[in-house]
Amino acid sequence: MARKLSFSRSINADSKEVFSQIARFENYSEFIPGCSKAKLIEKNDDYEIGELTFNFFLKTYLVRSKNILTDNTINIEQIKGPFDFFTGQWSVIGNERSSTDVSFDAEFKLPFILENIITDQVINDFCENALEAFVDKLQIKN
C-alpha cells in the first residue's frame, strides 16, 4: 500500500536562503534523524544524485536519489534504497512578510517486511523531527 506524507512550516527567513539550505544535500545528515552520512555523487545542470546513509534497528540503509532542482522546488526520486518506491518534493515559497513557506510532500511504498512495523505515527514523528531540526538550523544562521 502506498503511503503519503505532507508537512509544511512558515519560517522567518529569506526564501533564497531557505532553498539554498535545503538544496545542500551534503548537510542532510545534520537534520534528518538517523542519517549518519550524506554524499553528493553527481551534479550536472539537469539533476543531482545523492546518497544518504541511515542507521536504524542496528542495520545500515542506503538511499540513493535523483534530485531535480528548479527555482523553488526540488523533486526527489529514489533510484536505490529500502523503499519499493519513493518520490517527494520540497517547495519553498517566499511571501510578503519576509517569511518563507516550506512544504514537503512524498509518496512511497515500504517493503512488505517493514509495512506493518513502521506505523504512520512513526513516519509523521520522523518527518516532524527532521523539519524541526532544519528550522532550528536556519534560525541559528539568521
Entry pTM: 0.84
Q: Nearest CA to 38 among 22, 50, 47?
A: 50
- Residue 109's domain spans which residues? 3-141
What is the block-wise mean pLDDT of the chain (142 residues), using blocks of 10 residues? 85 89 88 88 94 85 94 95 92 88 90 73 75 70 54
- Tally of structural domains, the chain: 1
Residue-level pLDDT at 142: 52
Domain of residue 80, CATH code:
3.30.530.20
Residue 117 CA to residue 21 CA, distance in Å, equals 32
3: region left, alpha or beta (phi > 0 left; psi from -120 to 50 alpha): beta
